[in-house]
Structure 1
Amino acid sequence: MPSSDDAVIDPGPQAETAGPVPERIDRALVADSGTAAEVLHAWWLSEVGDLVGFEARTRSGEVDALHQARVRVRALRSVASVYRTAFDRRARRGLDGPLAAYGAVLGAARDAEVRELALGELRDDVRQDDPRHDDLVAALDALCSDARSEADSATRRVLTRLDSADHASLMLRLAALVVDAPVGSAATDPMEVVARDALGRAAKRVTDRAVIALRPTATLEQLHALRKASRRLRYAAEAAGSWAEQLSRAAEAVQNALGDHRDGVLLAGELRARADKEKSAAASALEDLAEETDTAARNSLSGCAELMAALTAAIADVR
């Protein structure tokens, strides 16, 4: 994947009259031991710079650029929420809705991309000696085509948004949050003190959801709630500095396992829905594929309790 440091900083044509978006600031220049404002504001501007860079790459159709832009939006929302006392309250609250809306547009495009990739892998793995080969490949081709059309439409919506005045305004407001806005009540406190308190609250959110999500009767949405809480904790730990790196990695491991499970369950459902519409030999083959996909999803979830135990230990280390 190309580095975002090489990207052109261009918030879009609508921003030409609104002033520049600050370029990426190297967060390594700010010590972990600085104040909350010093550490978080440098992290924030770095992420905004990365976001603008990946937006430029999204315009040129670079692989993974859209996904990386979505990651940055999620990280910004997570850090603004977890470390809310380090940012101006009014400015921060005014950004959450627009960032969430932007993330939803990016998410729709990325989810369709992921579906197409997963379906394409299934198609490419169909055994040549399977008597249902031709019918199954044709059915999977149709699903891939549907996902590609959905991804193309969603990507066009992303590009339209990137060229809008509203988006240019959002990007400038993201930078202004730490350039022009007053700081929050905890901004001048040592970052490690602020982070240990904030990460403790974010960690409790994870452990509370884990009690429900790790039960055998947990629903897909309850598991998803744990995944989102783990992701939020991961990004907050990343922003805290190198001393919270183990916590970030442990949270990411839980997030990834739950994500693999969710993707598998949703893909299996799509395969079964297609099987119900098929009248050829592909119907039984699609049902078999759905069962295999469900099994892989269950396997992704089987180690989640162990990953959660490692995360709990990492949480204890930063308290």
Structure 2
Amino acid sequence: MVDHLEIETTFEVGAEFEPPRPADLAPGGMDEQAHRLVATYFDTEDLRLAARGITLRRRLGGPDTGWHLKIPWGPDGKREFRAPRGSHATRIPARLVRLASSAARGAALVPVARITTERTETALLGGDGEPLALIADDRVHGEVLLRNGREVRWREIEAELGSGDRALLDAIGRRLTDAGARPSRTGSKTLTLLGGLVPERPARPTGPTADAAVRGYLFDQVEDMLALDPRVRAGEEDALHQMRVATRRIRTVLRGFPAVVGRKAVRPTADALRELAAALGEARDLEVLRERFTARLAELPRRAGGVRLTGDWLTVFDGRLEAARRRAVRSLEGQEYFALLDRLDRLRSSPLTGPRAGKPAEKVLDDQVGDALARMRSAHERALAATDRASRDEAWHEVRKAAKRVRYAASASEPVLGTPAARLRRWAANLQEVLGDHQDGAAALRFIEVSGGRVAAAAPDPVAASASLAALSGAETAVAPYLLAEAEREWESGPKEARRT
């Protein structure tokens, strides 16, 4: 199975349109080929994939016969995953089903459309013969296979980027529009064919009320979750971390705006988000430890006490990390997870039930951010009063969590409260980062204390591994007080009105 990032632009043209031949944009010449493509598209009966801009098809004909799954990937691209066509016309490859499952949510995928395309494809070649871009002139016959099926015929032009740069794609687009082409209103053959059958995407809430402000923030975080789901399944770097952050932001806002949200109504959703964040967190915490150990080892001398310091033992650590990543992906399977996504969709689309949800946003959000600040000040006072290492570490960890709540509350309020909320968000983020570094060091020490012996024993060179872990423990112990001092300096740099008691 292969995949690639597809960046293309689609144009509407009439039957008599004369496409330009931009030979001056092709230093290696142009190569023209004709194909007849027959594709069957699969979706749920209520077109959940199409509603998310996802297409799944089995195509016959052309150089890429087989199964194709296209998922929006960033602001202007789609990731296309491919698999061989197989001998069974409706047996969709399991990996493609999983990648689309946050949209389908357990509903059966059935044939919903058949599209036959008579394509004339022109490749603009570079000097090395590689296609810089492809221009496809498509005459299309579409058939809806759902209830009240219909047939539609149209013509369109697709310009797809190959190994060229975005400027080339823009130049091709200008040539096409100058010749009379119009940017497509749908950008997709399936959306052109299915039209009004596709459910409308939910609209982002707007308005002057606290409900609209908080739901607008929730809307964005849910969108991030849904976009990150296939990236986590595909193993994209940092996707797991970003999805965990999105779940935490949603949960923090559900808990941090009780006057707007109505905690009792959203408690099951908040609990499910906590469980999901914990499932994703195991792998993420191991990723952080792995990165921290690698960085610390690079700072240490090569030998200590006559023993070579080594990172060979990290191979044992990597086995745990990969197993945790697999468990994290499994947490995105099943009806409990899909039910959570359904609840989040309903939550961002329906008015919130808190007692002040319908009030003007500015005063309500200012009060709620103030409550979050009060909790952070209390946590800071407890941290300053802590005496032993264990209680001090735990108390500063609570300050970090409180700073995170302030950061997310300020982020949600920033469109309404403006500069004061932005300043507060930046301060809380800086404080959270320093305390996160301290917390990661405390986690590293706990790992060495609890698991270091087993890890060293399983390493290729147990003596060198033991020495390395001991050196890492000493380094983390030494740096911890400096990180707390830095955190206190960061605290004192914050807005006076935020630090007042």
Q: Does 2:392 correspond to 1:219? A: yes
Which of residues 217, 223, 227 in structure 2 aligns to 1:49? Answer: 223
CA distance in 1, matches of 2:356, 2:449: 52
**Gap change, CA 1:297 and 1:102, over 3 Å in 2:** same
Q: Does 2:477 correspond to 1:294? A: yes
CA distance in 2, matches of 1:105, 1:220: 24
> CA-to-partner distance for each residue in 1:272-305, whole Å, 9 max, x for gaps?
5636967635544532332122222222111222
**Structure with the larger strand share:** 2
CA distance in 2, matches of 1:160, 1:315: 41
Note if contact 1:231-1:252 (Cα within 8 Å) is conserved in structure 2: yes
* 2:273 alignment partner in structure 1: 99
* 2:433 alignment partner in structure 1: 256
Which of residues 244, 252, 264 in structure 2 aligns to 1:70? Answer: 244
Q: Does 2:92 correspond to 1:11? A: no
Instruction: List gaps (5 residues or longer) in structure 1.
Output: none
* 2:491 alignment partner in structure 1: 308
- Residue 252 of structure 1 and its aligned partner are, at CA, apart by 1.4
* 2:210 alignment partner in structure 1: 36
Aligned 1:76-91 pairs, distance under 5 A: 76-91=250-265
CA distance in 2, matches of 1:14, 1:21: 17
**Gap change, CA 1:288 and 1:316, over 3 Å in 2:** closer
Given the two structures, how large is their TM-score scaled by the length of structure 2? 0.55
- Residue 110 of structure 1 and its aligned partner are, at CA, apart by 0.3
**Gap change, CA 1:89 and 1:125, over 3 Å in 2:** closer
Note if contact 1:75-1:235 (Cα within 8 Å) is conserved in structure 2: yes
Aligned 1:159-170 pairs, distance under 5 A: 159-170=329-340
- Residue 87 of structure 1 and its aligned partner are, at CA, apart by 2.3
CA distance in 2, matches of 1:147, 1:225: 28
Note if contact 1:85-1:187 (Cα within 8 Å) is conserved in structure 2: yes
Note if contact 1:86-1:183 (Cα within 8 Å) is conserved in structure 2: yes
Note if contact 2:406-2:425 (Cα within 8 Å) is conserved in structure 1: yes
CA distance in 1, matches of 2:386, 2:499: 26
* 1:158 alignment partner in structure 2: 328
**Higher deviation after alignment, 200-209 or 239-248:** 239-248
* 2:407 alignment partner in structure 1: 234
CA distance in 2, matches of 1:24, 1:123: 49
**Gap change, CA 1:247 and 1:107, over 3 Å in 2:** same
Aligned 1:102-181 pairs, distance under 5 A: 102-125=276-299, 127-128=301-302, 131-133=306-308, 136-137=309-310, 140-142=311-313, 144-180=314-350
> CA-to-partner distance for each residue in 1:123-148, whole Å, 9 max, x for gaps?
44554566522xx31xx322x23332
- Which residue identity does 1:79 align to in structure 2? V
- Which residue identity does 2:488 align to in structure 1? A
> CA-to-partner distance for each residue in 1:161-201, whole Å, 9 max, x for gaps?
21211111101101201313553321221211111111111
CA distance in 2, matches of 1:153, 1:272: 22
CA distance in 2, matches of 1:7, 1:36: 35
- Residue 50 of structure 1 and its aligned partner are, at CA, apart by 0.4
Note if contact 1:254-1:304 (Cα within 8 Å) is conserved in structure 2: yes
Q: Give the SS at the match of 1:113.
A: helix
- Residue 15 of structure 1 and its aligned partner are, at CA, apart by 4.6
Given the two structures, how large is their TM-score scaled by the length of structure 1? 0.84
* 1:267 alignment partner in structure 2: 444
- Residue 151 of structure 1 and its aligned partner are, at CA, apart by 2.1
**Structure with the larger helix share:** 1
Note if contact 1:272-1:287 (Cα within 8 Å) is conserved in structure 2: no
Give the percent of matched residue pairs that are identical in Structure 1 and Structure 2: 27
**Gap change, CA 1:215 and 1:197, over 3 Å in 2:** same
> CA-to-partner distance for each residue in 1:46-72, whole Å, 9 max, x for gaps?
110001111211111111111011111
Note if contact 2:225-2:243 (Cα within 8 Å) is conserved in structure 1: yes
Count, aligned residues: 306
Note if contact 1:272-1:286 (Cα within 8 Å) is conserved in structure 2: no
**Higher deviation after alignment, 249-258 or 181-190:** 181-190
CA distance in 1, matches of 2:469, 2:252: 38
**Gap change, CA 1:252 and 1:20, over 3 Å in 2:** farther
CA distance in 1, matches of 2:486, 2:296: 24
CA distance in 1, matches of 2:494, 2:378: 13
**Higher deviation after alignment, 277-286 or 253-262:** 277-286
CA distance in 1, matches of 2:297, 2:347: 47
CA RMSD of aligned residues (A): 3.1
CA distance in 1, matches of 2:471, 2:230: 42
Task: Please identify the structure whose Cα radius of gyration is greater.
Answer: 2
CA distance in 1, matches of 2:381, 2:302: 45
Note if contact 1:47-1:72 (Cα within 8 Å) is conserved in structure 2: yes
CA distance in 1, matches of 2:376, 2:352: 30
Instruction: List gaps (5 residues or longer) in structure 2.
Output: 1-72, 80-99, 109-197
- Residue 23 of structure 1 and its aligned partner are, at CA, apart by 6.4
CA distance in 2, matches of 1:269, 1:177: 39
